[in-house]
Amino acid sequence: MQDAVTFDPRPADEAASAEPSTLSAEAPDAKAKREFNKLQKRLRRQVGNAIIDFDMIREGDKVMVCLSGGKDSYTMLEILRNLQRNAPVNFSLVVVNLDQKQPGFPEHVLPEYLDGLGVDYHILERDTYSVVKEKTPEGKTTCALCSRLRRGSLYGYAEEIGATKIALGHHREDILETLFLNMFFGGSLKSMPPKLLSDDGKNIVIRPLAYCREADIAEFSERMAFPIIPCNLCGSQPNLQRQVVKEMLAEWEAKHPGRLESMFKAVTNVAPSQLADRELFDFAGLEDKQAKMQADRIDLHNE
């Protein structure tokens, strides 16, 4: 069995020197830098822990980083590049952007940014925008169809370039929002797992930001001045249920700080016997289990 990745959670400048800062009166710039380093360290630690906990990256993996041009995927790429430099196992990163041919999409932004980083990247052109607009009835959200088309394109391309893992930029709130969307509208208790095997068994999807708070990602993105590309297909829809759920969760967190952390912990701490899924737990066999437990107690007592 291959080794999972263990990461040094400290930013590169901290890893080089473990001397604590002893500044008593910080200048504004020094304080801002210190706060940024703390934020970066927190994101590095959370991403590193997620990779370790779910065995996301192994020796020799070629990780396809899906870059949309949003704050989440930019942050994921930056943190993975940072961690890669200190990882005890060798893995490579290749960036892929799916150009869905949305009108007005600034095609020059990502190539210019990625050329500046010097990373390996591909721009995959697929006109899913026209298909989504044609197939989606007026007044309906485009998310389901857009997601299927995007996922199919990325999965196929990962096979084409020999990627062993597909990294998506979903964070903690995305996972919780999906949980409630499935509960409210799908009648199922499921969400986005940090690591997933595709239905056809050909691709493994990882979500390195699974432990990261959206607020931290937003702040990191702003501090890094990433060239954000807005999505005019998804985010502008007035009847988007995900936005409603997002606002609900934000209100809960504002009224009861720590509630989202507790809910996310619940996603990782499932008790099948305390739910009602007959496929997941053998309720019909409880009587047999009870009889065996009673028999074992009698045998122990007789000894």
Binding residues for [4Fe-4S] cluster: 143, 146, 234
Q: Which of 75, 77, 101 is nearest to 213 (CA)?
A: 75
Q: Which residues contact 11 (CB under 8 A, 6 or more apart)?
A: 37, 40, 41, 44, 82
Q: What is the CA radius of gyration of the chain?
A: 23
The binding site consists of 143, 146, 234
CA distances from 301 to 61, 70, 295 (A): 55, 65, 10
Q: Is 58 in contact with 2 (CB distance < 8 Å)?
A: yes
Q: Which residue has the tokens 């801002």?
A: 32
CA-to-CA distance for 24 and 27, rounded, in angstroms?
10
Phi, psi of 206, rounded to the nearest 5 degrees: -125, 150
Compute the C-alpha angle 229/234/238, nearest 5°. Answer: 125
Burial class of 222 by CB neighbour count within 10 A (0 to 12, 13 to 18, 19+): exposed
Checking DSSP bridges between strand 92-99 and strand 121-125, what pairing results, if any? Answer: parallel
